[in-house]
Structure 1
Amino acid sequence: MSAILTVVGLGSGNPDRLTLGIIKKLKAASAVYVRTAEHPVMAALAELEISSESFDGLYESLSSFPEVYEAITATLIEKAAAAPQGTEIVYAVPGHPMVAESAVSLLRQRCPEAGIELNILGGESFLDEAFVRLGFDPIEGFQLLDASGIRSSQLHPELHTLIGQVYDSFTASETKLCLMELYPPEYEVIVGHALGVEGEEQILRVPLYELDRLDGYGNLSLVYVPINRAEDALKRTFARLHEIVDILRSPEGCPWDREQTHESLRKNLIEETYEVLETIDEDDPDHMKEELGDLLLQIMLHAQMEEELGTFNVYDVIEGLNEKLIFRHPHVFGDRVAGNAEEALQNWDGMKAEEKRRKGVKPEAQSALSGVPRDLPALMKAYKLQKKASKVGFDWDNTGDVLAKIREEVDELQEAIEMGLSAEEQMLELGDLLFAATNVARFINADPEEALTRTNRKFVSRFQYIEQRLLDRGTSVKDSSLEEMENLWQEAKAEERSK
């Protein structure tokens, strides 16, 4: 058998707020353990002749908070198990036992397994003091975050936000960096030290960028980020984007947006995709940011149309993507290993095949060419078809054979032209030539779409050079001979080489 283990809260720091019941428990306990002796109430306990043992030494000897909480939990369970039946051991924590006390959560999990009776008595939480001293009503919308594990995805400007466990300047700095992903550097936040403790309380209002420049951080410190439902505060949130698209498609929204369908927006999706690709080629981050936004809008509109029909919404899209990414990366989220990019790709392909099997599709029964989108640009589609065929051994042996095939296709195209075959037959021969050229791209590890894009860009640059030089001479391409333009073309090539 074992002793009873009781967890009590010492309140936010003001000794006058200790309840009579908790004082009685502390006095009657066979042993009292406190998480930390660095708490204003400890002086009052000494006056009441309540002796205790703190776990402060664990914070110094162990390297992380989780290790400290594990050690506290193990020690308390061990002490309770060894104590005589009917006695009571008390573990006292700052504030309320159920607010930001990881060891208490662990005790609630493990005491039943160890056959130890666990009781929890509340105390005044630092939240009680925060609501009063900082002057806000949590019913308006409120969240409590832990500075030691804060993430930008947790932040919601439309909620009052309290951030606890701001122990020192380092956690204050981490908190600042996280908040600045959503809030402007000048946004006013409030730092509270020892709220409600007479003679120790400090409430400081500072711009966000100064958060880690303050002194006085410790066990009783927190950061309050006031609620802000202004448009500027919400414009960096995904929820606001979803709301805006919903409004645009509503009866009170934009007539043009309301009229759109999947079919009418099809070309827009394609155009926006190519505009993003153009910014990548231009290496223009500012333009890329804008064009990625335009592409995201297309995705949001298509998802919104389905939300209106009740089939799915954009959050279902995100859920499906998250599940897919985790499932197809077992070398990251599972127990497989990938030492290089090729092994990672093999894992990806293997998990894709497993997904199909789970959906009742047998990959082995499908064509080796399946999975290539029907509407890909022809050059890109040819490249993907050839890659899939090569995986099952349908391929040339070497680059020389492919180049020979290109020469063969050139001869067949020339023959079709000289024989005056129909336009359709000549076009098919041209297609064969382009298909063969795409094979060379694969053998030299070059993306044919990218290769042709670069050539297009080079052509535009050289032709514009010709236009500008002719303009400098007071003439134009329309008034110049082919020989003149060819000379300038060679000049443009020479200038490129010299750069």
Structure 2
Amino acid sequence: MDMKKSTITVVGLGAGDLDQLPYGIYRKLTQASHLFLRTKEHPVVTQLTAEGIAMESFDEVYEQHESFADVYADIVERLFTAAETEGNLVYAVPGHPLVAERTVQLLLEQGEARGVQIEIGGGQSFIDPLFARLQIDPIEGFSLLDGTALKAHEIAVGLHTIIAQVYDAFVASDVKLTLMEVLPDDYQVTVATAVGVAGQERIETVPLYELDRLDHFGNLSLVYVPPTKEERISYRQFSYLKEIVEILRSPDGCPWDREQTHQSIRKNLIEETYEVLETIDDEDPDAMCEELGDLLMQIMLHSQMAAEEGYFTVDDVVAGLNEKLVRRHPHVFGEKSADDATEALANWQEIKAQEKAAKGIDVDNQSHLAGIPRDLPALMYAYKLQKKAAQIGFDWDDVADVYGKVEEEYRELREASEGERAGELGDLLFAVVNLARFLKLDPEEALAMTNKKFKRRFSYIEAKLKEAGRSFDETDLQEMDKWWEEAKHHERGGDGK
């Protein structure tokens, strides 16, 4: 014989006082044999108490936990326990049960498994009186967000945004800091408390930086963020970047941008990358920010061209990257573990091998030198070739042997005929790259340092000529060499070492 399920009937106390409460909800509240409240901090509760209605609130639960998630879980567990022992009960929440009420969602998720029927008894949310009070037309688009778990990526600056559950100044402070990731500090926002409740309603519009300084936050408080099309805000939105690039490539856009192809701007991608590297070497964060933007523009252009051809969009690029990052970091997003960088790299390499196999690539029959981008600069390409070969034991045993190889290739270059010099020079450079690898140096970085050093010393010579009011035609190699040595002396701190 089936046992009859206990029932938890969830009703909403609305956004105002008792006069605004539907009669049906009022009857459920007054006739309930067991009435529980998420919080007694509500105008309707004050009036029900005056009428002698017995009820039990969960306000003390908020004091027992450090996070709202734990608070809500505890409240739900207590409700299920009460339903199992006391039978049917009524659970009243502010506003509407299905608007910004996490405890209700938890009840609905767990009710069947706990053998308790959950019924939604209705109620009025805070949204209707708020729209009326602020004269907002929701057809323009609006977003309702949870102030206790607000994330910057959730904020759409072009929509009316309502942030609920801003219970106190601490939540308001978190909301402020999150909004500041998207909006200027002086952006005007509105805090509304107890909208439509006579004698309790308070509505204030303040600059964002003053949001948490107001003194009327409570269970009936929320923050309204108006939509904007201000350039200083729109310019920070990735969606606006997509729109700009699409316009540039449109028939009404820029003639130059319209004419470009993947191949025509191919070199730009390389040039912009090297400009970013220059800002890294210069330790110039402002320049880096700008140059990373230029590099991103190349990615956006290639993605837009591909979208026009029906191949993929920039959203597909982002989706593929996100999926790959999660898949290749099982020690972060999955069940595996990695205590150090070596283990993390091993996980990464293992998953890359699995990905190749899934694509039909026979890893066992693939060359050990496969996987190096063929358009890398020759110095970097040589370095990666040697590293891959070394992984399977094709390598020198001792650095002395490498020095010997460099000396051998140098002699062969000196003895080479004119037609052999290019090949012999390449052999010498390849041997030097090997030496760099043995010394645990990046040959590209080492050469870049020497290039900078040469440029710095040559600039010293130019400065000396300028001081003397002379040109290169009016000096000789001996004098320039003297200044070169002076430049070296200054670089070494003047001690001649």
TM-score (normalizing by structure 1): 0.96
4+ runs of 1 displaced by more than 6 Å? Answer: none
Asked if 1:158 corresponds to 2:158, the answer is yes
Give the corresponding residue for 2:428. 433
Distance 1:465 1:170 in 2: 58
Which amino acid in 1 is paired with 2:451? N
- Aligned pair partner of 1:490 in 477, 485, 489: 485
Instruction: Kindly state the Cα deviation for residue 140 of structure 1 after the two structures are TM-superposed.
Output: 0.2
Which amino acid in 2 is paired with 1:498? G
Q: What is the RMSD of the two structures over their aligned residues, measured on CA atoms?
A: 1.4
**Equivalent residue pairs, number:** 491
Asked if 1:460 corresponds to 2:422, the answer is no
Which amino acid in 1 is paired with 2:364? E
Instruction: Kindly state the Cα deviation for residue 421 of structure 1 after the two structures are TM-superposed.
Output: 3.6
Instruction: Kindly state the Cα deviation for residue 323 of structure 1 after the two structures are TM-superposed.
Output: 0.5
Asked if 1:4 corresponds to 2:7, the answer is yes
SS of residue paired to 1:4: strand
Distance 1:392 1:434 in 2: 23
Deviation by residue 1:377-403 (Cα, 9 ceiling, x = unmatched) = 111111111111111111122322222
Instruction: Kindly state the Cα deviation for residue 110 of structure 1 after the two structures are TM-superposed.
Output: 1.0
Distance 1:408 1:13 in 2: 91
Asked if 1:143 corresponds to 2:138, the answer is no
Instruction: Kindly state the Cα deviation for residue 124 of structure 1 after the two structures are TM-superposed.
Output: 1.2
Asked if 1:91 corresponds to 2:91, the answer is yes
- Aligned pair partner of 1:36 in 33, 36, 39: 39
Give the corresponding residue for 1:298. 298
SS of residue paired to 2:195: coil
**Structure-to-structure mapping, 1:200-349, within 5 angstroms:** 200-349=200-349
Distance 2:253 2:336 in 1: 49
Give the corresponding residue for 2:467. 472
Unaligned residue ranges in structure 2 (runs of 5+)? none
Task: Check whether the contact 1:279–1:288 (CA below 8 A) recurs between aligned residues.
Answer: yes
Deviation by residue 1:215-274 (Cα, 9 ceiling, x = unmatched) = 222212111110112333311100000001001111111111110000001011111111
Which amino acid in 2 is paired with 1:16? D
Task: Check whether the contact 2:273–2:295 (CA below 8 A) recurs between aligned residues.
Answer: yes
Which amino acid in 2 is paired with 1:452? L
Instruction: Kindly state the Cα deviation for residue 162 of structure 1 after the two structures are TM-superposed.
Output: 0.8
SS of residue paired to 1:468: helix
Task: Check whether the contact 1:151–1:178 (CA below 8 A) recurs between aligned residues.
Answer: yes
Instruction: Kindly state the Cα deviation for residue 282 of structure 1 after the two structures are TM-superposed.
Output: 1.2
Which amino acid in 2 is paired with 1:77? F
Give the corresponding residue for 1:108. 108
Deviation by residue 1:47-90 (Cα, 9 ceiling, x = unmatched) = 33321111111111122111111111112122222335xxx310
Task: Check whether the contact 2:42–2:94 (CA below 8 A) recurs between aligned residues.
Answer: yes
Which amino acid in 2 is paired with 1:52? M
Which amino acid in 1 is paired with 2:68? F
Give the corresponding residue for 1:408. 408
Instruction: Kindly state the Cα deviation for residue 364 of structure 1 after the two structures are TM-superposed.
Output: 2.0
SS of residue paired to 1:91: strand
Task: Check whether the contact 1:13–1:94 (CA below 8 A) recurs between aligned residues.
Answer: no
Instruction: Kindly state the Cα deviation for residue 112 of structure 1 after the two structures are TM-superposed.
Output: 1.3
Task: Check whether the contact 2:6–2:115 (CA below 8 A) recurs between aligned residues.
Answer: no
SS of residue paired to 1:117: strand
Tell me: CA distance 1:230–1:406, structure 2 relative to 1, closer, same or farther (3 Å).
same
SS of residue paired to 2:63: helix
Distance 2:41 2:54 in 1: 15
Give the corresponding residue for 1:384. 384
- Aligned pair partner of 1:57 in 47, 51, 60: 60
Which amino acid in 1 is paired with 2:389? A
SS of residue paired to 2:92: strand
Instruction: Kindly state the Cα deviation for residue 342 of structure 1 after the two structures are TM-superposed.
Output: 2.1
Distance 1:195 1:74 in 2: 31
Task: Check whether the contact 1:162–1:222 (CA below 8 A) recurs between aligned residues.
Answer: yes
Task: Check whether the contact 1:5–1:89 (CA below 8 A) recurs between aligned residues.
Answer: yes
Which amino acid in 2 is paired with 1:366? Q
Higher alpha-carbon deviation: 288-297 or 314-323: 288-297
Higher alpha-carbon deviation: 388-397 or 316-325: 388-397
Which amino acid in 1 is paired with 2:440? N
Distance 2:429 2:280 in 1: 25
Distance 2:118 2:340 in 1: 50
Instruction: Kindly state the Cα deviation for residue 325 of structure 1 after the two structures are TM-superposed.
Output: 0.6
TM-score (normalizing by structure 2): 0.96
SS of residue paired to 1:203: strand
Distance 1:333 1:204 in 2: 43
SS of residue paired to 2:143: strand
Task: Check whether the contact 2:68–2:148 (CA below 8 A) recurs between aligned residues.
Answer: no
Distance 2:397 2:446 in 1: 23
Give the corresponding residue for 1:128. 128
Task: Check whether the contact 1:477–1:485 (CA below 8 A) recurs between aligned residues.
Answer: no
Task: Check whether the contact 2:182–2:236 (CA below 8 A) recurs between aligned residues.
Answer: yes
Distance 1:45 1:318 in 2: 54
Which amino acid in 2 is paired with 1:463? F
Task: Check whether the contact 2:412–2:424 (CA below 8 A) recurs between aligned residues.
Answer: yes
